[in-house]
Structures are given as structure tokens and as C-alpha cells.
């Protein structure tokens, strides 16, 4: 009996040690979870702040464009037309004609500017013609201006996809192209739009400087919102986004957006 009691006692002590160790591990785990949670909260707060800032920035930019560019040009047209009118009242046809021609020139530039602004806010081709023409127009215009070669491949031409999928894919390409022009120093870009059995694959590959996409979220938030926004757009539709790259080796952004069979 004594031996058994001792043996039990021994096991009991062992059990206490085991429980204490488990508890210590649990406490350590809780501590780490708390640190993770605090970090996630800080990231979220930083992102929210950044999002509001970006929204205000965007409004300020549009306001500036409307006021400075469009407003001033409209003012100039008004002055030219008023002056042409008073010249016409004095039957001075030639100078009046010159004023009107000048006004028409400004008006043509105005039209182009308004188209550019509207296009940036919401691409007209996307609703009217679908994903491929919208992507082609956007990428060719912007990369063309920067002298970057473009190739666009895939099997989506002439095919309509659900509107949220088209919009998400377009916005992802738009941000990826903006990033190429801002950060990559690339000479060529390949865009792929490939529809499979259950998903659309969007790929934007550049041959630029590349970067390390594996930086922590907090660091990312300080850098910008573009990559996060692309990922969110894909995730909102049940998809995913990966960024592959290494310094010096170019960058590839690849999104997968689920599309139901026979959808649209």
C-alpha cells in the first residue's frame, strides 16, 4: 500500500509538473495571440486612416482638375465668344472668325480632358464593350505614353462576364499597370485574361526592377494601398491574389476570380 501510495504520489507530482508546463504554454500562446491581435488592430487603424486620406486626396485631385483645367478653359471660351460677338456686331467678320476658331480649339481640348477624367473614374468601354476592350484601351494608352511595350493575351475577347467580375478584373489591371509605371522601370508588360472552367485568371507581368512582396502588413500599409486594394477586390468575390517577384527579376501579379459556369 505504501509503495502504491508513493507511486501515486510520484505520478501526482509528475502530473502537476505536466499541468504547470501546459499552463505556461497556454499563457505564452495567449500572450502571442494578444500581441498578434494588437498588431492587427494597429494595422487596421493605419489602413483606415490611409483609406480616408486617399479618398480625400482623390477628391482634392478631381476638384483641382475641374477647377484649374476645365474651369479655366471654359472661362477662356466664354471670353473668346463674347469678343467674337461684339466683333460681329461691328461686322468685323475676319477677327470674329479667328476668335471662334480659337474657342473651338480650346473646346476640343476640353472634350478630351473631360473624357480622360470620366475614363479614369469609370471606364466607358467596360460597360459598353466588356473587359478586353477596356483593358486594351487603358493599358495601351497609359503604357504607350510611357513607351512600354504591351502584349495582351487570353480567351475572353468578345465574351461578357458578370459585371462585378469585369469591374474587379479591370481595377486590378489598372492598379497593376499604375504600379508598373510608378515603380518598375519596365520595358514590357504582358497582360493575360484567361477564363477557365470556374474562374477568370488575371495576370500582369512586367520585366522591371521587381521587389520583395513578403513585407509585413504594417510595412505594406505605410507603402500604399494598391496591393491591399487589389487583394480585397479579388477576396470580395471569393477569389485570391498573389504577387510574385524578387528584386531585379520583374513582378507578376496574378488574380483568380471565381466565375460560375455559364455565367453571363
Residues near ligand ATP (CB under 6 A) are 179-180, 182-184, 206, 208-211, 223-227, 251
Q: Binding segment for Mg ion among 7-15, 127-135, 204-212, 221-229 (CB under 5 A)?
A: 221-229
- Identify the three-state secondary structure at position 153: strand
Q: Binding segment for Mg ion among 6-14, 24-32, 177-185, 204-212 (CB under 5 A)?
A: 177-185
Backbone angles phi, psi at 187, to 5 degrees: -110, -20
Which is nearer to ligand ATP, 96 or 253 (by Cβ)?
Answer: 253
Closest residue to Mg ion, judged by C-beta, is 226
Q: Cβ distance 225 to 54 under 8 Å?
A: yes
- Shortest distance (Å) from residue 206 CB to ligand ATP: 5
Which is nearer to ligand ATP, 170 or 211 (by Cβ)?
Answer: 211
Question: 252 touches which of Mg ion, ligand ATP, none (CB within 5 to 8 A by kind)?
Answer: none
Radius of gyration of the chain (CA): 30
Q: Is 168 exposed, middle or buried (0-12, 13-18, 19+ CB in 10 A)?
A: buried
The C-alpha atoms of residue 31 and residue 148 are separated, in whole angstroms, by 50
Which is nearer to Mg ion, 133 or 224 (by Cβ)?
Answer: 224
> H or E stretch including 120?
helix 93-121
Question: 92 touches which of Mg ion, ligand ATP, none (CB within 5 to 8 A by kind)?
Answer: none
Torsion of Cα atoms, 114 then 180 then 258 then 126, to 10°: 20
Q: Binding segment for Mg ion among 73-81, 86-94, 115-123, 220-228 (CB under 5 A)?
A: 220-228
Residues that bind Mg ion (CB under 5 A): 179, 224, 226
Amino acid at each position: 500500500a505504501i509503495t502504491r501510495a508513493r507511486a501515486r504520489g510520484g505520478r501526482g507530482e509528475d502530473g502537476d509538473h505536466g499541468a504547470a508546463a501546459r499552463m505556461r504554454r497556454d499563457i505564452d500562446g495567449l500572450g502571442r495571440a494578444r500581441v498578434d491581435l494588437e498588431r492587427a488592430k494597429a494595422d487596421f487603424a493605419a489602413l483606415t486612416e490611409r483609406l480616408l486620406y486617399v479618398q480625400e486626396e482623390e477628391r482634392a485631385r478631381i476638384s483641382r482638375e475641374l477647377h484649374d483645367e476645365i474651369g479655366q478653359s471654359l472661362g477662356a471660351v466664354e471670353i473668346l465668344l463674347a469678343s467674337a460677338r461684339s466683333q460681329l456686331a461691328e461686322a468685323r467678320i475676319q477677327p470674329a472668325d479667328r476668335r471662334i476658331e480659337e474657342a473651338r480649339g480650346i473646346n476640343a481640348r476640353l472634350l478630351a480632358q473631360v473624357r480622360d477624367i470620366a475614363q479614369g473614374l469609370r471606364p466607358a468601354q467596360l460597360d459598353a464593350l466588356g473587359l478586353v476592350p477596356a483593358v486594351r484601351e487603358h493599358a495601351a494608352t497609359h503604357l504607350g505614353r510611357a513607351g512600354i511595350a504591351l502584349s495582351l493575351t487570353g480567351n475572353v475577347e468578345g465574351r461578357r462576364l458578370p459585371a462585378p467580375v469585369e469591374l474587379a478584373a479591370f481595377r486590378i489591371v489598372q492598379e497593376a499597370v499604375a504600379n508598373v509605371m510608378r515603380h518598375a522601370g519596365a520595358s514590357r508588360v504582358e497582360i493575360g485574361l484567361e477564363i477557365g472552367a470556374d474562374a477568370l485568371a488575371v495576370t500582369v507581368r512586367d520585366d522591371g526592377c521587381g521587389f520583395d512582396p513578403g513585407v509585413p502588413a504594417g510595412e505594406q500599409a505605410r507603402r500604399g494601398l494598391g496591393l491591399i486594394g487589389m487583394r480585397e477586390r479579388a477576396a470580395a468575390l471569393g477569389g485570391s491574389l498573389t504577387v510574385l517577384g524578387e528584386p531585379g527579376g520583374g513582378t507578376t501579379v496574378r488574380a483568380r476570380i471565381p466565375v460560375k459556369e455559364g455565367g453571363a
